[in-house]
């Protein structure tokens, strides 16, 4: 397995733990990485992803929320939400990662660790974020479209 792919898996696992157990879990990052991975390159990149994603979490969530039609971040599956945060961080903050690589890696993480439908869900959101980042529309002006169906909250008759 490639070093950066492994780093993304480690980062996702740790972000998942922080999401479920709270901010105090952040103190365990070094021990977690040392216990899970022997390769320094994977650990280094995983640390970069975790720290960057957590530092920018509010703005990442706002960006994701702006394109997630009728989906609240808090209602998304924990894995999906953290895959989206991680990939959005790579898309917007890691200039050395090609956007398609970040998206494809995120899709694979979603498929591997979440549900079969997660890949499509993650792809749709990240594709919109990629379009925004490439200047199609300023991030601040994006709002969810009214009337879009949400698979998590179906309308009641």
pTM for this model (two decimals): 0.83
Q: Return the SS3 of 96.
A: coil
**Residue 91 domain-assigned (yes or no):** yes
Q: What is the pLDDT of residue 26?
A: 92
- Classify residue 154 by its DSSP letter: P
What's the domain count of the chain? 1
39, two tokens: 């390769």
Residue 151: how many CB atoms within 10 A of its CB?
A: 9
- Over 60: is that where the pLDDT of 88 sits? yes
* Structural domain for 34, as ranges: 3-139
130, two tokens: 């990629």
Q: Which CATH number do you get for residue 20?
A: 1.10.940.10
**Residue 149 domain-assigned (yes or no):** no
Mean pLDDT for all residues in the chain: 86
**Residue 80 domain-assigned (yes or no):** yes
């Amino acid at each position: 397995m490639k070093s950066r792919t492994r780093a993304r898996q480690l980062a996702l696992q740790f972000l998942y733990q922080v999401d479920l157990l709270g901010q105090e879990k952040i103190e365990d990052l070094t021990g977690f990485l040392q216990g899970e991975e022997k390769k320094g390159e994977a650990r280094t990149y995983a640390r970069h992803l975790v720290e960057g994603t957590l530092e920018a979490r509010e703005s990442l969530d706002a960006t994701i929320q702006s394109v997630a039609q009728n989906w609240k971040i808090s209602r998304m599956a924990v894995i999906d939400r953290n895959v989206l945060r991680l990939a959005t961080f790579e898309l917007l903050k890691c200039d050395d990662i090609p956007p398609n690589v970040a998206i494809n890696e995120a899709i694979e993480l979603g498929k591997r660790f979440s549900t079969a439908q997660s890949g499509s869900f993650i792809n749709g959101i990240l594709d919109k974020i990629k379009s925004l980042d490439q200047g199609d529309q300023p991030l601040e002006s994006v709002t969810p479209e009214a009337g879009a169906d949400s698979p998590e909250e179906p309308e009641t008759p």
